[in-house]
Amino acid sequence: MAITVEDIKKLKELTGVGLTDAKKALTEADGDFDKALEEMRKKGLTRAEKKGDREAREGVIDSYVHGGRIGVVLELNCETDFVARLDDFKQLAHELSMQVAAMSPLYVSEADIPEEEMGRVKAELMASDELAKKPVEMREKIVEGQVKKHFVEKVLMNQAYILDDSKSVEQHVKEAIAKLGENIVVGQFKRIELGVTE
């Protein structure tokens, strides 16, 4: 397949790499854009994971109101004030606010789930009649899977991303990390729904 300048530019925009790297990726993929994009994403996500340990103290507070009935305030952090001012970063914060409004998560990540809540759900599942029918040696593994499944929609980072459900919110954030070159972390969020109290 022929490699076009348009494809190189498009790959550069989508992955945040330089033109030379984008051209190299397309050459290695024999001009197959989707294959090149997949490879670049893998490389970018690997780099993004390495950036995950860096401290993120700058950022923005974004707010989103849906139909006058649901409101969200979300803190999105990055490493530098420069990145915090970029439109791509602000757009990510807004997309995540929309995600919270639509999907109503309770926690940012699994690490935020209180141990007592995790223990309560696990105990409930362990006591179920359905589990009693399973072999003893399999019960712990089954409950582990059920606990994970129980919390998947309650944890923002584990949810399917509303604007592209082929990936999770965490994958979407990692793509932004790869593109913007800094660690990005959701600090906190608050969701308010008219007539609903916690």
**CB-based contacts of 17-26 (< 8 A; 24+ apart in sequence):** 17/44
Angle at Cα 46 formed by Cα 10 and Cα 26, nearest 5°?
A: 30
Question: Does residue 135 share a domain with residue 41?
Answer: no
- Pick the more confident residue, 21 or 45: 21
Backbone angles phi, psi at 170, to 5 degrees: -60, -45
Specify the number of domains making up the chain.
3
Mean pLDDT for the stretch of residues 116-135: 81
User: pLDDT: is 29 or 190 the higher one?
Assistant: 190
Residue-level pLDDT at 76: 96
The verdict on residue 198 lying in a domain is no
Give the chain's length.
198
Residue 167 counted as domain residue? yes
Residue 183 has pLDDT above 70, yes or no: yes
Radius of gyration of the chain (CA): 20
Question: For residue 45, is it within any domain?
Answer: yes
Do 124 and 147 reside in the same domain of the chain? Answer: yes
User: What is d(CA 26, CA 32) in angstroms, rounded to the nearest whole number?
Assistant: 7
Taking the model in full, what pTM does it have? Answer: 0.68
Q: Which range has highest mean pLDDT (20-29, 73-82, 122-131, 133-142)?
A: 73-82
What is the residue type of 170?
E
In a domain, 85, yes or no: yes
Burial category of 112 from C-beta neighbours within 10 Å (exposed 0-12, middle 13-18, buried 19 and up): middle
Alpha carbon separation from 89 to 81, 82, 143, 169 (Å, rounded): 11, 10, 38, 15
Among 64, 97, 63, 60, smallest CA distance to 82 is for 60
Q: Are residues 101 and 167 in the same domain?
A: yes
pLDDT, average across residues 35-54 = 62
Same domain, 184 and 130: no
For residue 132, the enclosing domain spans 114-152
- H/E element holding 63? strand 58-66
> Do 118 and 28 sit in the same domain of this protein?
no
Calpha distance 55→48 (Å, rounded): 13
**pLDDT(103) > 80:** yes
CATH number of the domain bearing residue 26: 1.10.8.10
Q: Is residue 122 in a domain?
A: yes
pLDDT one-digit tens code per residue, 76-89: 999 999 999 999 99
- The DSSP secondary-structure symbol of 71 reads E
In a domain, 173, yes or no: yes
Residues 175 and 188 in one domain: yes
Here the CATH number for the domain that contains residue 183 is 3.30.479.20
- Asked if residue 60 lies in contact with residue 89, where contact means CB atoms within 8 angstroms, the answer is yes
26 domain residue, yes or no: yes
Q: For tokens 């925009």, name the residue.
A: 13
Distance from C-alpha of 138 to C-alpha of 79, rounded to nearest angstrom: 44
Mean pLDDT of 122-130: 80
Q: Which two tokens stand for residue 184?
A: 């990005």
Q: Say what the pLDDT of residue 87 is.
A: 96
Q: Are residues 171 and 100 in the same domain?
A: yes
Residues 125 and 159 in one domain: no
Q: Are residues 34 and 98 in the same domain?
A: no
Position 184 scores a pLDDT of 93
Burial environment of residue 163 by CB neighbours within 10 A (0 to 12, 13 to 18, 19 or more): exposed
